[in-house]
Structure 1
């Protein structure tokens, strides 16, 4: 026998709107086990699955990538090389964000009469423009 909770309780405990749960179900990330009246019912194990989805999103995985980490039976099966690749991407983002942080701190303390006259701020703006172009091409 399943221990079940309705969609409003899942929403409350997970801290996400019921509409998000319905969307996740539509995408195949979660599956309801029935209904009580008009409300969807879920196995209590959904809370663990929602925590994993939240972790995956925080790590930068798309919902489709997260869905692919589950077998057709709903069992979590993570490709370790995919995790390593994502960790490398996060390292790159950290490096880029540190450079932006350092540039912003420099600009905040720069003695130049205008930020546009600060050479380091100029380099920061150019780097941001180049990164924006790369992202649009990808």
Structure 2
């Protein structure tokens, strides 16, 4: 069992964020050790999923629905597919930006942002 302080330390989240996630139904504590909430070690995997989803732009409500999804939930599955498309577009945009920045780091064109190669890597 991990107490709330250990979970917070291992994940980098504030204890208040863990309590908030619990209040929203994303986490479930397994009990208390004195006044401190305790969690099963698997909570670390759940928090990694939540953190990844948050960084990908999912709302708390979307994550909540995702965590209880079943194969029969066709509406949610369609939304997941839509979100995957948006993420693919974001990934492509970020890869273009990374490639442009890598080029700019060694480019001698003045100004850098007017370099034809820099502009070409940014183009969709």
TM-score calculated relative to the size of structure 1: 0.59
Residue matched to 2:73: none
Residue matched to 2:90: 93
Quick one: distance in 2 between partners of 1:9 and 1:82?
35
- 1:60-75 correspondence runs (5 A): 60-70=57-67
* Alignment RMSD: 3.3
Structure with bigger gyration radius: 1
How many residues are paired up? 118
Are 1:9 and 2:1 matched, yes or no? Answer: no
Which of 12, 20, 25 lines up with 2:17 in the alignment? 20
Q: Quick one: higher RCO (CA 8 Å, sep 6+), 1 or 2? A: 2
Residue pair 1:60, 1:86 contacting (<8 A) in 2 also: no
TM-score calculated relative to the size of structure 2: 0.65
Query: What are the ranges of 5 or more consecutive residues in structure 1 without an aligned counterpart?
Result: 71-75, 128-138
Residue pair 2:112, 2:118 contacting (<8 A) in 1 also: yes
